[in-house]
């Protein structure tokens, strides 16, 4: 019984067991009572004189005992029956051959009945009564009070012996059967307990969703796999696999959709991995693969294969979701590298893979520990910085290539440091997203950018607009539309003066939640731009699903345009297709006159880059515009 089991349940179980054993006692009592009564009735038919009286008295007592048993007075019934039978046997022996009488053979049967029908008290009581009666018979015989009357052997004596043997034999038979049934029942219960134990152990060691080994069992598997590798002359690697942007799937489509993704990928891992590999669900969207290996090339090949297997387009709730994964790899090089240490190292390497652009893998190196510590320190600095709004905005103008006039400025976030240096967004935006600080920081950026634009318009730049970059994480809680409205109302900026820039990777996700929020933002009257076009899937067809007004070609295509004919043709094709969809085009990364002239010739609308100015503070921007 478990110690924390409720008292009511324990009392109920005790009552059930008591009723079960009482039912067995009742049946055994009735069976033995009936068998003995039949034996006495048979003996009564061949007996004479005083023996008939004794047998008749015994039958009457057995009848009383039977009635008591039927009325569930089991203890009293057993006592009446055994007392009556012992008295009957004593009377038969006393009127017969004393200690040599055949009735003495019935005493062992009474002791067996006492063990069958009662507890320790009844058994000891019967044993003492039988012992005292036997000694009393011997004493009376020795003192001459009883003169043994040894009768001539007759059919009745043989019948009486057979009756005694039959009753005792029947009692032993049902006792043995009870024991057999009890043993079988115990075996069945043991099998159930063992099955339950195995099932509980399985549940404790495996993830309920994916049926993969869990983190706890992973440590055991690590020890086993490590020992197996040593005995086979192989090394062991731990691959830490994390799905990219999985939280966005959960937030947008619900946790059920996320569970479907995890189940499908788990099945893929089970079939795709070599037989000596172990795949473990570490938690959330994180998986661990224990991989024996001999060369680094094997691990690279395995990591690439896993990334390919993860790169699937899944149909979820009438949405097509593109899944990818980042993998960190750590090698077990010494006894110090236990399971937890390898997980830590592989996790650090996985974050480096994400920083390198996601959908790739990275091997652990000791220098990554330093970077991890720096990232932790940066996060510790970041929280108070967001609370204290210790940031600033720089601005880079966007120029109309046909008029050479500044029409808008892109707001670019910077984090000033006490030593005068600046920390750039690519170093801390990811931390803001993972730590939940992005909404607070994003709201501050919107407020500052709107205030900037209002000031510019009040200073005579009536058509000035401001562009603000949005993070995917800002769409997760569905509050972005409200935050934008609050910024516009607070600053008094007209919605058409605000431009929100979305990355191409965000647009292609075909997420109904994001689509709905973008529609809400467009309905406010502001404009939507697709940023860094060309770095992702570069599919203009996706743009039809969004109310975008501008497309920004990434600098990696624009910078070499004056030196590379293929890049020029590619940029021209993008511009033509964008215009066919009614989109204006902004070229990022314009650095020289040659690139500017080529872009004008192929019909680009706007430009942005170092040719005019680097991102600068508001006061410097005013000088540039002037």
Q: What is the CATH number of the domain that holds 436?
A: 3.20.20.450
203 occurs within a structural domain: no
Mean pLDDT, consecutive 10-residue segments, the chain of 626 residues? 49 64 75 77 74 80 83 79 82 74 77 76 83 84 72 63 74 76 83 89 90 93 92 92 83 80 90 91 93 92 92 73 89 80 92 87 88 86 93 95 93 94 90 89 96 93 93 83 94 95 67 77 90 60 71 87 85 90 92 92 94 91 76
In this structure, are 464 and 590 located in the same domain?
Answer: yes
In this structure, are 353 and 388 located in the same domain?
Answer: no
In this structure, are 159 and 300 located in the same domain?
Answer: no
What is the predicted pLDDT for the residue at 101?
A: 72
Model confidence, pTM: 0.56
Q: Residue 584 CB: number of other CB atoms within 10 A?
A: 18
Q: Which of 326, 341, 365 represents a domain boundary (last residue)? A: 365
Q: Which of 163, 185, 207 represents a domain boundary (last residue)? A: 185
What is the predicted pLDDT for the residue at 154?
A: 56
196 occurs within a structural domain: no
In this structure, are 361 and 381 located in the same domain?
Answer: no
In this structure, are 385 and 525 located in the same domain?
Answer: yes
In this structure, are 501 and 393 located in the same domain?
Answer: yes
- Can you tell me whether residue 356 is helix, strand or coil? coil
565 occurs within a structural domain: yes
68 occurs within a structural domain: yes
DSSP 173: H
What is the predicted pLDDT for the residue at 8?
A: 54
What is the predicted pLDDT for the residue at 89?
A: 81
In this structure, are 292 and 404 located in the same domain?
Answer: no
223 is in which domain, residue-wise? 215-365
- Can you tell me whether residue 86 is helix, strand or coil? helix
In this structure, are 129 and 61 located in the same domain?
Answer: yes
Question: 280 and 287 in contact (C-beta within 8 Å)?
Answer: yes
- Looking at the structure of the chain, the number of domains it has is 3
What is the predicted pLDDT for the residue at 503?
A: 79
List of residues 6+ apart from 252 with CB closer than 8 A: 476, 511, 512, 513, 514
417 occurs within a structural domain: yes
In this structure, are 351 and 386 located in the same domain?
Answer: no
What is the predicted pLDDT for the residue at 158?
A: 67
Query: What is the C-alpha separation between 496 and 395, in angstroms, rounded?
Result: 19
What is the predicted pLDDT for the residue at 5?
A: 47
What is the predicted pLDDT for the residue at 2?
A: 44
Using the CB atoms, write b or e for 4-29: b if 16+ within 10 Å: eeeeeeeeeeeeeeeeeeeeebbebb
Helical packing angle, 74-94 and 120-142, nearest 10°: 10
Q: Which of 344, 365, 386 represents a domain boundary (last residue)? A: 365
What is the predicted pLDDT for the residue at 3?
A: 46
Structure tokens at 316: 């979820």
The candidate with the shortest Cα–Cα distance to 92, out of 44, 152, 142, is 44
In this structure, are 87 and 176 located in the same domain?
Answer: yes
Residue at token pair 């699903």: 545
What is the predicted pLDDT for the residue at 537?
A: 46
CA terminus-to-terminus distance, the chain? 86
In this structure, are 279 and 164 located in the same domain?
Answer: no
We report the CATH number of the domain holding residue 245 as 3.30.70.270
Q: Residue 32 CB: number of other CB atoms within 10 A?
A: 27
What is the predicted pLDDT for the residue at 504?
A: 66
Question: 107 and 127 in contact (C-beta within 8 Å)?
Answer: no
38 occurs within a structural domain: yes
155 occurs within a structural domain: yes
191 occurs within a structural domain: no
Residue at token pair 């869990």: 214
Structure tokens at 491: 């600053």
In this structure, are 351 and 389 located in the same domain?
Answer: no
């Amino acid at each position: 019984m478990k110690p924390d089991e409720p008292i009511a349940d324990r009392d109920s179980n005790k009552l059930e067991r008591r009723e079960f054993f009482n039912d067995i006692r009742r049946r055994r009592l009735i069976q033995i009572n009936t068998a003995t009564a039949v034996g006495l009735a048979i003996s009564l038919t061949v007996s004479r004189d005083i023996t008939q009286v004794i047998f008749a008295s015994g039958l009457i007592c057995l009848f009383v005992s039977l009635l008591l048993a039927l009325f569930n007075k089991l203890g009293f019934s057993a006592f009446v029956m055994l007392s009556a039978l012992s008295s009957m046997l004593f009377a038969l022996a006393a009127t017969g051959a004393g200690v040599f009488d055949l009735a003495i053979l019935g005493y062992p049967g009474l002791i067996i009945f006492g063990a069958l029908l009662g507890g320790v008290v009844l058994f000891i009581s019967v044993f003492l009564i039988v012992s005292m009666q036997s000694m009393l018979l011997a004493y009376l015989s020795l003192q001459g009070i009883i003169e043994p009357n040894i009768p001539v052997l007759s059919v009745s004596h043989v019948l009486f012996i057979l009756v005694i043997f039959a009753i005792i034999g029947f009692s032993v038979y049902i006792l043995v059967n009870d024991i057999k049934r009890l043993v079988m029942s115990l075996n069945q219960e043991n099998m159930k307990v063992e099955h339950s134990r195995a099932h509980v152990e399985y549940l404790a060691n495996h993830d309920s969703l994916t049926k993969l080994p869990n983190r706890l069992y992973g440590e055991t598997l690590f020890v086993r796999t490590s020992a197996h590798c040593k005995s086979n002359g192989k090394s062991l690697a731990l691959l830490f696999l994390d799905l990219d942007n999985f939280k966005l799937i959960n937030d947008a489509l619900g946790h059920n959709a996320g569970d479907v993704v995890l189940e499908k990928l788990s099945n893929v891992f089970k079939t795709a991995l070599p037989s000596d590999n172990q795949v473990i669900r570490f938690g959330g969207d994180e998986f661990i693969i224990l991989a024996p290996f001999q060369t680094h090339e094997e691990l690279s090949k395995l990591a690439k294969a896993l990334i390919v297997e993860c790169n699937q387009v899944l149909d979820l709730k009438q949405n097509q979701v593109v899944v990818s994964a980042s993998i960190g790899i750590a090698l077990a090089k010494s006894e110090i590298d236990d399971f937890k240490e390898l997980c830590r190292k592989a996790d650090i390497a996985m974050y480096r893979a994400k920083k390198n652009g996601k959908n790739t893998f990275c091997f652990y190196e000791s220098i990554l520990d330093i970077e991890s510590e720096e990232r932790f320190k940066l996060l510790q600095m970041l929280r108070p910085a967001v609370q204290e709004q210790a940031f600033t905005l720089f601005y880079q103008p966007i120029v109309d290539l046909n008029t050479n006039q500044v029409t808008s400025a892109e707001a670019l976030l910077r984090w000033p440091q006490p030593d005068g240096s600046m920390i750039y967004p690519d170093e801390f935006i990811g931390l803001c997203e993972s730590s939940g600080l992005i909404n607070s920081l994003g709201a501050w950026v919107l407020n500052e950018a709107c205030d900037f634009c209002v000031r510019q318009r009040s200073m005579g730049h009536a058509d000035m607009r401001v562009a603000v970059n949005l993070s995917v994480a800002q769409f997760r809680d569905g509050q972005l539309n409200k935050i934008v409205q609050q910024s516009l109302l607070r600053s008094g900026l007209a919605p058409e003066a605000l431009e929100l820039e979305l990355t191409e990777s965000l647009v292609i996700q075909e997420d109904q939640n994001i689509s709905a929020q973008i529609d809400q933002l467009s309905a406010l009257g502001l404009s939507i731009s697709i940023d860094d076009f060309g770095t992702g899937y570069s599919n203009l067809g996706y743009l039809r699903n969004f109310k975008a007004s501008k497309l920004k070609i990434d600098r990696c295509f624009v910078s070499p345009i004056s030196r590379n004919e293929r890049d020029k043709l590619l940029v021209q094709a993008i511009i033509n297709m964008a215009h066919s969809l009614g989109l204006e085009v902004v070229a990022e990364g314009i650095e020289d006159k040659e690139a500017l002239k080529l872009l004008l010739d192929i019909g680009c609308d706007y430009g942005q880059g170092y040719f005019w100015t680097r991102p600068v503070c508001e006061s410097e921007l005013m000088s540039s515009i002037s």
